[in-house]
Amino acid sequence: MDDKSSPDSHNEKEMIRAPEPEKGDASGRRQSVALNIVENPLKRTTREQTVLDAQSFAELNGMPEQAELFGRAALVARDPEKFDLVDELSGDERAALAYERDHKWHGPTMLWYSIGLCAIGAATQGWDQTGSNGANLSFPQAFGLASRETEEFFTERDEWIVGLINAIIFLTAGLM
C-alpha cells in the first residue's frame, strides 16, 4: 500500500492547521484558540431549561434549599462575561461577582502560602525522583549492594536498603 494513501501515514504538509488566533484587544494580546473550540454546554439549552436543569440537580442531590441559588449560578455560568445582565441576581450577588472579576488574585494569605508550599513540594519530589532514577543505575553497584556484571542484588537485605534509600524523601515528608 502506498504510504501517502495510508490513513496512518503522517504528512505535515497535508495536515489541517488551526486558524491563527485573532488579536484580542488593543494591547495586541492574542486570544486562546481553545476558546474558539470548546463550547459552553450551558449555552446549548434555553435560559429557562438551564435554570430548571440546575434546580433539579440541586434537588436530586439533597440540596433543595439551594435550588434557586443553583439556578442563578447556572445563568451566570452560561455567560460569565455578562453576569451583570442576569436580572435574577441580587445586588449583593452582583457586587460579589464584580469583586471577583476585578480582584482575580485576591485570597487569604494562607491559601497562597499552601499553594506555594505544594508547588515547591511537587518540584522537590520531581527533582528527587529524577535524581533517584539516575542514581539507581549505578549506586547499588558502587556501594557493593549489587553485582557489576548482572546488576542483581547480593542479598534481600541489599534490595531493602536500595528501596529505603529511594523512599527516604517520602518517608521524611510524611514527618512534616
Helix, strand, coil fractions of the chain, as percent rounded to 5: 60, 0, 35
Residue 22 is predicted with a pLDDT of 52
The per-residue pLDDT for range 1-41, each reduced to its tens digit, is: 444 444 455 544 454 554 554 555 555 556 656 555 778 89
Mean pLDDT on 91-101: 94
Residue 48 has pLDDT above 60, yes or no: yes
Cα–Cα distances (Å) from 155 to 84, 106, 126, in that order, read: 71, 56, 29
Residue 147 has pLDDT above 60, yes or no: yes
Higher per-residue confidence, 168 vs 10:
168
Distance of CA 9 to the CA centre of its chain: 32
- Cα–Cα dist 156/160, whole Å: 6
Q: What is the pTM (predicted TM-score) of this model?
A: 0.49
- Residues 147, 130: contact at Cβ < 8 Å? no
Cα–Cα distances (Å) from 22 to 29, 66, 106, in that order, read: 9, 40, 30
Least confident of 21-30, 100-109, 150-159: 21-30
Higher per-residue confidence, 47 vs 151:
47
Q: What sign has the CA pseudo-torsion 64, 65, 66, 71?
A: positive
Residue 39 is predicted with a pLDDT of 84
Residue 126 is predicted with a pLDDT of 84
Q: Please, what is the end-to-end C-alpha distance for the chain in angstroms? A: 61
> 176: which 3 cell numbers?
512534616
Residue 63 is predicted with a pLDDT of 97
Residue 3 is predicted with a pLDDT of 46
Residue 47 has pLDDT above 90, yes or no: yes
Mean pLDDT of the residues in the chain: 82
Residue 67 is predicted with a pLDDT of 96
Residue 86 has pLDDT above 60, yes or no: yes
